[in-house]
A and B are shown apart, each in its own frame.
Chain A
Amino acid sequence: MTSSTAHLTAADYDEIGRELDAIRAEVQESLGAADAAYIHKVIKLQRSLEVGGRAMLFASFLPPAWIAGTVALSAAKILENMEIGHNVLHGQWDWMRDPKIHSTTWEWDTASPSDQWKHGHNFLHHTYTNVLGKDRDIGYTILRVSPEQPWNPAYLAQPVYNALLAMFFEYGIALYDVDIPKAFEGGAAGRAEAWGQLKAIGRKVRKQVLKDYVAFPLLAGPNFLPVLLANFTANVTRNVWSHTIIFCGHFPDGTEVFTEDLLDGETRGQWYVRQLLGSANISGSPLFHLMSGNLSHQIEHHLFPDLPSNRYATIAPRVRALFDKYDLPYNSAPLAHQIGSTWRKILRLSLPGGGGGGSAPKTPSRPRPLTPA
């Protein structure tokens, strides 16, 4: 597959596939009341934080109330998007058969309508992870995050774009689900489809704007401005945080990209290994894992996107031991390290070239080739 997998035989891939399938089956069979209690608890915590935060903001002429309210609301929005929304939309909780917590009924507080996002994310990104020309998550179309992407002068400004993308990430994600190139190439039908998607995004954005920037500030009367500012801060905080976690999941040094020909006849084992090589974990505390929506276990999430997120931490040591056995790199490092690595790559690749001359430190877990063959 790549230089990091040159030593694997077909039998190795089959065995990796079998062992990971076994872990998956074991988790699925053991799902039960404790898991259901977990997601109910997180949802309750998120809603309580949101109600509490918004209530405190009614006293936001007092600076401590503004700060506490903004922190609570930011935390609520982060949980809502990441540990709840993202994971529910993956179908992680469909096994409970609760129509209130189900991938087919869930709608979330972000600009992307859930059905559009599910197509772009669950299907394209998770199936074709890090395959150039297939996985549009690679750089979210506007960034150069792999030396394989040809350079052009527009990339000189990509550190600036990326900072702006972080702040307004939810809109970036929503627009990126609209296949603009297809709209141009696909004639009238393609344009109509893109226009329909844009209108759906517009409806969601209108509701969000009405809620956070009109209704709640108006309700706060004389506190109109502090509430408006607090809601804006909470949205930007959530955007920057989710951008950070998601970029650290696929773009730190060591994550690999692949070419389309790899997809031909790809076996289950090879698919699993591609998910591993294209993903990076972030180590941290249980609270950090919760606030990252357990995308800190990006590798486990990519291997088993529809297993409930509360199980990733439990299976991570077994997954890691398996890949160690086959001498495969398991990229895991603390947040500061993965952020540094991601931004270094974005800065470096804003300039031409960048294929061989990386200076980023290797992941602490094990040395590994820096770029794909």
Chain B
Amino acid sequence: MTVATTPRLRRLAGKLTSPLLPEDYLGLVNPLWATSELRGRVESVRWETADAATLEIRPGGAWAGHRPGQWVRIGIDINGVRHWRSYSISSAPSSATGGDRIAITVKAAGLVSEHLVRRVRPGTIIRLDQAAGEFVLPAEPPERVLFLTAGSGITPVMSMLRALARSAETMSGRFPDTVLVHSAPTRRDVIFGAELRRLAARTPNFRLHEQHTRTAGRLGPQELARLVSDLAQRSTWACGPTAMLDALSLDDLHVEHFRPPVPAATGDGGLVRFTTSAVDVRADGATPLLVAGEEAGALLPSGCRMGICFSCVGRLTSGRVRDLRTGEVHGEEGDIIQTCVSAAAGPCSIEL
């Protein structure tokens, strides 16, 4: 507990630090004391596979915790510039008695992920948002569960499995009848491979199937039906590339995509006006509004950058936009649009 955590004291202290906040000075001692901006400190970076690593993060005091399967937005400065991305949390929620750390598991692909995996060192201060996302298990898990994952799609599911395992061990909960079908190119590419195999070995209710696609090929609907005979009776949580998810049409499906759909649209752009930021920028018809705005210096909210998380949305106040995934031109005044997958279709303005 610090001085800054008590609202009344904080207001009084604010009189002494106006126009700044007390935390702007307290941050000289410990950056995690900030409350106007949630921060975290990277405590460790551990390799999982040749190109994926787990970062253990100690969040500041304002962290409200997460539910297994949720993701968190991470803001990190790369070459002086703040970048935000969303990552699934791979750790189970902290137990009631402390354990104030979260882990994200990141596959090195793209500017931010490469930086997190290969260059971030323990001690680095990052920015965080509160955890979000609806890809979660209900408080009372269903009788029979199927997890269907590929590549780093295992990360949110790992959080769920860890939480189920802990609840089974420590709180005499039961581990539901669970099947995990996970695809990765080879055995060595399976993130959390060793831990999953151990869990399968000691948990009678948990069955693991690893699909090593380089030798066994991709999983098709028939193969899945053969692997999981009671498919129709299981509630399914699937996380992986769009192509895999589209190929396996399932009932009672919870889905999390993690690869951006390929941009399908190009066309004429126009002058884009970000009204709150007072930034005007000419954008072409293939550049996401988010990227155009950021390059022009506007401070815009962002998250997954692939049209999933809705962190980047803003109200369209004039003009129309093109959905880069489908090529569809849409938008009426007042519509909420996703700036990360929308480009200008002529002049437009957005309340951001």
Contacts and interface: CB of A to CB of B under 8 A. Distances in A.
A13 B77 CA distance: 39
A99 B16 contact: no
Given A97-B82, A98-B77, 16 more contacts: A33-B77, A44-B28, A47-B28, A48-B28, A91-B297, A95-B80, A96-B82, A97-B81, A102-B299, A104-B299, A105-B299, A108-B19, A109-B19, A204-B19, A207-B15, A210-B18
A109 B80 CA distance: 26
A210 B19 CA distance: 12
A44 B24 CA distance: 10
A41 interface: no
Interface residues of B, number: 21
A325 interface: no
A215 B25 contact: no
User: Considering residues B18, B19, B25, B278, which has the most beta carbons from chain A within 10 angstroms of its beta carbon?
Assistant: B19
Interface of A: 31-37, 44, 47-48, 50-51, 91, 94-100, 102, 104-105, 107-109, 204, 207-208, 210-211, 215-216, 219
A91 B299 CA distance: 12
A216 B17 CA distance: 10
Which 8 residue pairs of A and B lie closest in terms of their CB atoms, listed nearest first?
A36-B80, A107-B19, A97-B82, A32-B79, A94-B297, A207-B18, A33-B80, A32-B80
Contacts of B5: none
B195 interface: no
Interface string B65-90: 00000000000010111110000000
A109 B17 CA distance: 10
A96 B15 contact: no
A246 to B, nearest CB: 21
A325 B329 CA distance: 53
Contacts of A100: 24, 37
Contact of B16 (A34, A96, A215): A215
A102 B16 CA distance: 22
Given A51-B28, A95-B297, A104-B299, A211 B16 contact: yes
A370 B24 CA distance: 48
User: Considering residues A50, A100, A211, which has the most beta carbons from chain B within 10 angstroms of its beta carbon?
Assistant: A100
A107 B24 CA distance: 13
A99 B299 contact: yes
Contacts of A208: 18
A211 B277 contact: no
B77 A36 contact: yes
